[in-house]
Amino acid sequence: MINWLDFKSIKRAVKLESVLRHYHVELRRSGKDQYRGCCPIHRGEGREAFHVNLARNVFHCFACEAGGTVLDFVAAMEGCSLVEAARRLQAMTCSSDPWKSTSNGEELVTKRRRVSLPLNFTLTGIDCAHPYLAGRGITEKTAVEFGVGFYAGPGLMHGRLVIPIHNADGELIAYCGRSVDQTQPRYRLPSAFAKSEILFNMNRAAAGVENTVVVVEGFFDCMKVHQAGIRSVVGLMGSVLYEPQRHALLERFRHITLLLDGDPAGRNASTIIAKKLRPHCGVRVVLLPDGVQPDQLWAEDIGKLLQRSANDD
Ligand SMILES: [Zn+2]
C-alpha cells in the first residue's frame, strides 16, 4: 500500500483550500491568494498567526511553527504520520469530489481501514498505588479498574504513569505515558497512535445501557467523572472532536453532555463541538468556572453539575 502512495501527486491534486474547508477553518483574506487567521493546529489566541498561500498550496503558523503542505496539515490535525495523512488524502481524491459535502466525508471515514491495531503485548508490574494517582484524586480502586499505574520497566513508557487505551471493542491498542515529575513531554504516545479515531473509555461507556454520554478532554477528567459514579463518559484526549470520533459518538449515543475545561480553549472547543453535534443529537454544554478542569472537582460537585444541566434542559 505504502509504495503506491505518491506524495507529490497528492500535494498537487488536493487543494489546501478544500482541506481547510473540511476542517471548518475560518480565515480572512490578506492579499492575493493569501489568507490569515487563528491557527487550527495549536488553537492559540493569535488571530493572525496562521498564514495560508493558496497559490503555492502551503501554510505556516508563526506561533507554533507548524507549516508545510496539505500533507503536513492533515498530519498535524489528525495527529498522524505523513504516510497516514497521504493515505487519507489519497482515499479521498479517489472519489469524484471528496470534500464537497460532510456526508461524503463521513462515508469515507467509516470505510477507511482501521489503523489502530490491537497491541500484541501488555505491560506488567504496573503499580496502581503510586502516590501520583492519589495526588490527582484517583483512588486505587479506579486505578485498578482502568489499569493505570506507574511503570518502572524498560521501554518507551519507562518511569511514567501508564494509561491503557482501548478501542470501542475493548481491545488494548496503546499506552499513554504521563510523566510524574517535570519530564517532557507530559504525555507520551506511540507515534503511530491515531488519536482522531479513538475516544478514551469508549469501550466501557458504550457497553453500558445509557444513551447519554459525558465528553471530557483528558484521561484524568474521564477517570474522575467515572469515579463520581457517572460511567458513561469518554475523553477526547485533547479539545478537538475529529470526524471518526464524532461518528462513533453519534452511532452509539443520543444525548451528549460536553464537560470541557474552564479555559478559553475549552470554551471555544465546546462551542465548535456543540455546533458539529447539534443537528444530530441532544447536546448540553456544562461550562466550568475559570481555570477549573473536571479532574479538579469533587465527586459530589461533578454529580451536581451534571444533574443541574440535566434539569436545565
Ligand atoms: Zn499554530
Contact 283, 258 (CB under 8 A): yes
Residue where the block lists cell 484524568 = 220
> pLDDT tens digits for 209-268?
999 999 999 999 999 999 999 999 999 999 999 999 999 999 999 999 999 999 999 999
Output the CA 79–ligand 1 centroid distance in Å: 14
More confident residue, 276 or 154: 276
Q: Is 172 left (phi over 0), alpha (psi -120 to 50) or beta?
A: beta
Output the CA 84–ligand 1 centroid distance in Å: 21
pTM of the model: 0.64
Output the CA 67–ligand 1 centroid distance in Å: 8
**Minimum mean pLDDT range among 99-103, 134-138, 284-288:** 99-103
Pairing of strands 255-258, 282-285: parallel
Output the CA 95–ligand 1 centroid distance in Å: 30
Output the CA 68–ligand 1 centroid distance in Å: 12
> pLDDT tens digits for 45-69?
788 899 999 999 999 998 888 899 9
